[in-house]
Amino acid sequence: MIRFCVIDDHEVVHDGLRAMADREPDLEFLGGATTVPDGEHLVERVHPAVAILDLRIGERDGGNGIDLCRTLHSRYPSMSVVLFSAYGNGELLAQAIAAGAAGYMLKETSVGRVPGILREITTSGSWFEPRIASELLQRRAGGSAPGAFSAQELEIVRGISRGENNHEIGEQLHISPHTVKYHIASMLRRHEVHRRAELVRLASDLHLLE
């Protein structure tokens, strides 16, 4: 059973997700909130597996859904937080991922697709709107390549995910440890991250390690 709640200042969104859950035997709608404080209290009370947040929630008080995502992710790291927005781009997705989001859905997404998206998030750990994910990949690759990692770079990231050091990765790929180190430094710089684990997280979130 996938237990979820929604934090969105539009009651119609709550009603739509509640009706959707009523039609799906493996989904349970735990309630909705229309403000950030009420949303925090709701999550604390019902302990959902997934919390769906409006990207613009809290704007009247100088915040937004990404700020709330960061707060909830730090408090409940095992809970999946999904941003829900009428718009999106690669920069917003990058901010959402950095805040700990497990998903990013557009409000234009048909209600019929939402159950499958929630299932994907709970089984694989993440789901991001493909069009926006593609934009992020192109932006981080400088807009000149179809993907953010070359084939060899992906193999290096896979090695990192297995806990291998530069020497072990190099042996697998028949390249020197120095070359592995060079590629890792290049990826860190290009993707604007600071740790090897962040490369693994990025590639995993964008489903490049499957």
Q: Is the pLDDT of residue 145 over 50?
A: no
Q: Is the pLDDT of residue 149 over 80?
A: no
pLDDT by residue (tens digit) across 155-171? 999 999 999 999 999 99
Same domain, 154 and 192: yes
Same domain, 62 and 126: yes
Q: At 22, which CATH number?
A: 3.40.50.2300
Categorize the per-residue pLDDT at 143 as very low, low, confident or very high, splitting at 50, 70 and 90: very low
Q: What are phi and psi of 2, to 5 degrees?
A: -100, 110
pLDDT by residue (tens digit) across 45-91? 999 999 999 998 988 777 899 999 999 999 999 999 999 988 877 77
Average pLDDT, the chain: 87
Same domain, 12 and 115: yes
Selection from 28-42, 54-68, 131-145, 178-192 with the highest mean pLDDT: 28-42
Is-contact 34 11, C-beta < 8 A?
Answer: yes
Q: Is the pLDDT of residue 152 over 70?
A: yes
pTM, to two decimals: 0.68
Please count the CA atoms within 13 angstroms of the CA of 86 that sit on its side-chain side. 5
Domains in the chain, number: 2
**Burial, 123: exposed, middle or buried (Cβ in 10 Å; 0-12, 13-18, 19+)?**
exposed
Task: Give domain status of residue 143, yes or no.
Answer: no
pLDDT by residue (tens digit) across 30-43? 999 999 999 999 99
Same domain, 14 and 118: yes
Q: Is the pLDDT of residue 146 over 60?
A: no
Q: If you average pLDDT over residues 164-190, what whole number do you get?
A: 90
Q: 192: domain range?
A: 149-205
Q: At 185, which CATH number?
A: 1.10.10.10
